[in-house]
Amino acid sequence: MDEFVEICKDTFNSSNFSITNPFPPTQFENNFFDYVVGYSVFSHLSEQACLEWMREFYRIVKPGGIVALTTRGRPFFDYCESLKGQNKGQYADSLSTMFPSFDEAKKSYDEGRFVHSNADGVTGNGQSHAYFYGETFIPEEYARSAYAELFTLEEFIYDSERQSHPIMFFKRLG
């Protein structure tokens, strides 16, 4: 997003930040980066967007390079469900109703499936559209298998006492 890129440029006193489209490709050359970090990105992208970005990361990260990404953790289901009837604002209200059944969403997650909601109110605004943006929960089993032809999932770290988002560390194959 334009606003966040400007914040990064100002904060880090660097012009080494740029806008990308919701879907790849980027302007970067093949095998350009050693590391890619995405905080609170894969916690919002659709399954198709995640897959396309993982393919792009494979293209732009050097063999053996690391991609570190965060996603929503399982406790976030309970948090969202607890917001029902709380009237804490539009976004909180939307989070509380983003799934017809939180039990079904949790069951899908526990079975290792990618879980995403692009229900009204959780799709963001401005540059964030429902066709690629919402609330996303990627379980470790899915992260390990879905991108296995491109990356090895080296670690899936989540300690709900210390962090709000699980962190997935992928190592590029080849």
Is residue 49, in this structure, part of any structural domain at all? yes
Contact 71, 102 (CB under 8 A): no
pLDDT at 9: 94
pLDDT at 2: 86
**What average pLDDT does range 81-103 have in this prediction?**
95
Distance of CA 111 to CAs 29, 61, 140, 165, 174, Å? 37, 30, 10, 19, 30
pLDDT at 136: 98
Q: Is 172 exposed, middle or buried (0-12, 13-18, 19+ CB in 10 A)?
A: buried
Domain range for 33 is: 28-172
Is residue 78, in this structure, part of any structural domain at all? yes
Computed over every residue of the chain, the mean pLDDT equals: 95
Is residue 18, in this structure, part of any structural domain at all? no
Put simply, whether the predicted model's pTM sits higher than 0.85 gets the answer yes
Number of domains in the chain: 1
The two beta strands, 61-70 and 135-137, are unpaired
Segment 115-164, tens digit of pLDDT: 999 999 999 766 788 889 999 999 999 999 999 999 999 999 999 889 98
pLDDT at 20: 87
Is residue 12, in this structure, part of any structural domain at all? no
Is residue 80, in this structure, part of any structural domain at all? yes
Is residue 5, in this structure, part of any structural domain at all? no
Segment 99-122, tens digit of pLDDT: 999 999 999 999 999 999 999 999
Is residue 8, in this structure, part of any structural domain at all? no
Give the CATH number for residue 90: 3.40.50
Is residue 100, in this structure, part of any structural domain at all? yes
Percentage with pLDDT > 70 across the chain: 99
